Amino acid sequence: MDTPGFDTDSEQDVFRKIIAGINAVRPYARIIGVLLVTRINDSRAEKVDNKLVAFVNKLCGPAYAGQITAVTNFWNVSESVEKTRFEERLQQCLQRWRVVLGDELKQYQHGRRYNSFGDDTGECLKWHGDRDDIKMYAKAMLDRHYGNTNLTDPVIVQELSNGNPLWKTAAGEFLGIAPPPESSSRASAPPPVQAEATVPPVDTSEPEEIEIPMPSASTHQANSNQPQPPTPTEPSALAKFLAWTVDEVGIPILNHLLNNVTFSVTSGGGTGQSFPSHLDPLSSRDHFVWRGLPADLESRTEWAQRRGITSEPGSQAFGDAVRNAVERERPM
C-alpha cells in the first residue's frame, strides 16, 4: 500500500489519507510491515526527518521495529567520493532512527547488489542496465524480512480495530488531531439547571372557550423540511490504495515506490501553481506526472535524448537535468 508523502504543511491530512488506505485494505489483506523510504542523496533538515521517524514510531508502536525496514534509494553514484559521503549519511541516519524505533530496525539499500546470503556487497547498480537484478534483490528482501508468519499488527491497526477515533490514537495525539467540535462541546457542556417550581395564582374568573388550532398542511411541510443530519459515507479509497500481489503488481509497485516516491518536504514561493504536496519536487518523474507527460523512465530518457541530455538514465545528474529542462520548457 503506497502512502502520500509526509508533508509538514499538511501532515494531518496525510495521516487521514493513510488511515483511509488502512481501512480500505483491512477487509482483504493484512499489513505485515512498513517500508520507511528515504533518498540517500537528499540532505533534508534533520528536524523534519526526526519528526517523520517519531510519527512512524507512534503509528507502529515500540514493539514493531523488527517489521520496519529503512529503505534508501537513489544509489546512482558517479564518483567514489560521492559514494563515501552517501555511506556516511546512511550510518548517521540509521543511528538516529534506531534510537527512536529500536535496534531491531531492518535496512535495505535499493539499487545495490546483494549476495546469496542477503548481505549488501556495497556495489551500486545501474538502474537502466541492471533493472532485473534490482527487481530480484527487492523481491528477496521482502521474502527475508516478511516471510515469517509470527508477525504482529501495528498499533494503529489495533487501535482502529478497538474503535478508537483518530484523536485518541497514539499517532493522532502526536500530530495534534483535535476531536470534532460537537464531541468537545458535549463533553464540556454543564448539566442543565432545573428551574425552581412555582405555584401559579388561583384563577377565580370563569374559563373562556379556547380554540385549539389544528395543524395545517403548511405546518406539516415546514416540519418535514427541517434540515436532517448528513448521512456518513465511507471513503471509496479501495481502488486508490489496494495493490496486493507480489509478482504481477507488488514488485512493480515496490520498484516504482522506491525509485520515484519519497516522504518529501515541499517548499515554494513566487507566482504560478504550487507543487502538489503528494509529489516530490526533486523528482523529474513527478514533474512529468504534474504536467501530464508520460513519466516512465523510457519516455523520460527519449525526451531527454531529443534535447541533448546524455547523462546515465536514472542517475542524479540525469534527474536534475531533465527536471530543469522540463521546468524551463513547460513552466507551471
pLDDT at 271: 40
Question: Please, what are the averages of pLDDT over each run of 10 residues along the chain (332 residues)?
Answer: 70 91 91 91 70 93 94 83 89 93 95 92 88 92 88 94 95 92 59 51 52 49 48 43 42 48 36 65 86 85 89 85 89 79
Phi, psi (degrees; rounded to nearest 5) at 69? -115, 120
- Rounded to whole angstroms, what are the CA distances from 76 to 48, 296, 312? 24, 18, 9
DSSP letters for 26-57: TTT-----EEEEEETT----HHHHHHHHHHHH
Q: Residue 76 has what pLDDT?
A: 79
Strand-pairing partners, residue 108, are 71
CB 114 within 8 A of CB 121: yes
Question: Looking at residue 269, what is its pLDDT?
Answer: 37
Half-sphere exposure of 299 (CA within 13 A, CB side): 9
Cβ neighbours, 10 Å, residue 307: 12
Find all residues with CB under 8 Å of 183, minimum gap 6, and list them. none
Q: Which fold has domain 11-160?
A: Rossmann fold (3.40.50)
Alpha helix stretches (DSSP H) within the chain: 11-25, 46-60, 80-101, 131-146, 155-161, 170-175, 181-188, 217-224, 238-241, 251-260, 284-290, 297-305, 316-329
DSSP letter at 5 equals -
The owner of cell 540509521 is: 94
Domain boundaries, the chain: 11-160, 279-332
